Structure 1
Amino acid sequence: MGRTVRVTVRGSFDGLSEAQLGELRAESAAHDFMNTQYTAEGYLAYDLPRPFFTFRFAEEVESAEDVPGVAVRSQAKAEAWMAEHGYPIKNVTTQTVDMAEVPLGKRGRREAERHA
């Protein structure tokens, strides 16, 4: 059975031009910072005028040993996307959550017991 890994890549835009800020503002509705969806392609959210961004990724892996690789790939995808769009960034950090390690609440335990 696979494991779902959620990766959050955070950082800051670094010295965006007025044209770049305009592009980001024009697309901001599609990149709502309060949205918490995790996708294989990565969901980009940002908060302007503050220069922060977050990419959220989800990936399935076979074992816990595969989790560090997910973090590396996700950060590389986020950095590549920013570079491809010409957005300079800094202070990039990555956080992973192996969903198999997250404790289930009462409702989740009941569901797990029903399907066991």
Structure 2
Amino acid sequence: MEMATQHTYRVIVRGKWDQLTQEARATLLAEVEEHGLTQMQFTAEGSLTYDAALHAFSYRYVIVSDAEYGEEMAAALGEEKAEETLRAAGLGHRELRSTATDMDTMKINRKGR
């Protein structure tokens, strides 16, 4: 049986904070410096960025997934990870949406430009 081709995707999951408890707000504000724009890197665990307004946030993930399912699958996996992490941390959120970029096809396309 043939192994499916794996591609590496960069996934950005964006969302809005929603119904945060006082405790959650305090924790987020206490850690806001660690989640600024300078921390915007793509990692397997996901890096969370937000600001002190506590309005919106984003996660950046590196997701390795079967190429045949493409960016949609990678985006869905990113949303799933963000959902699990937020739920585990007790952080209220809504309106998760994501975008994925296939890094493998980007490398190929670049040559032709």
TM-score when normalising by structure 1? 0.77
**Range with bigger deviation, 76-85 or 41-50:** 41-50
Partner of 2:100: 96
1:48 counterpart = 2:45: no
Give the counterpart letter for 1:42 in structure 2: G
How far apart, in 1, do the equivalents of 2:83 and 2:66 lie? Answer: 25
1:5 counterpart = 2:9: yes
Give the counterpart letter for 2:81 in structure 1: K
Give the counterpart letter for 2:69 in structure 1: E
Partner of 1:30: 34
Give the counterpart letter for 1:28 in structure 2: V
How far apart, in 2, do the equivalents of 1:27 and 1:63 lie? Answer: 36
User: Do 2:10 and 2:63's aligned partners in 1 also have CA atoms closer than 8 Å?
Assistant: yes
Greater Rg over alpha carbons, structure: 1
* Of 57, 74, 77, the match for 2:78: 74
**Structure 1, unaligned runs of 5 or more:** 110-116
* Of 20, 35, 50, the match for 2:24: 20
**Range with bigger deviation, 56-65 or 15-24:** 56-65
- Partner SS, residue 42 of structure 2: coil
1:60 counterpart = 2:64: yes
**Structure 2, unaligned runs of 5 or more:** none
User: RMSD between aligned alpha carbons?
Assistant: 1.9
How far apart, in 2, do the equivalents of 1:61 and 1:81 lie? Answer: 19
Give the counterpart letter for 2:10 in structure 1: R
- In the alignment of these two chains, the number of paired residues is 105
Seen in structure 2, the aligned counterparts of structure 1 residues 100 and 48 have a Cα distance that, compared at 3 Å, is: same
TM-score when normalising by structure 2? 0.79
- Percent of pairs identical after alignment? 28
- Partner SS, residue 100 of structure 1: helix
- Partner SS, residue 39 of structure 2: coil
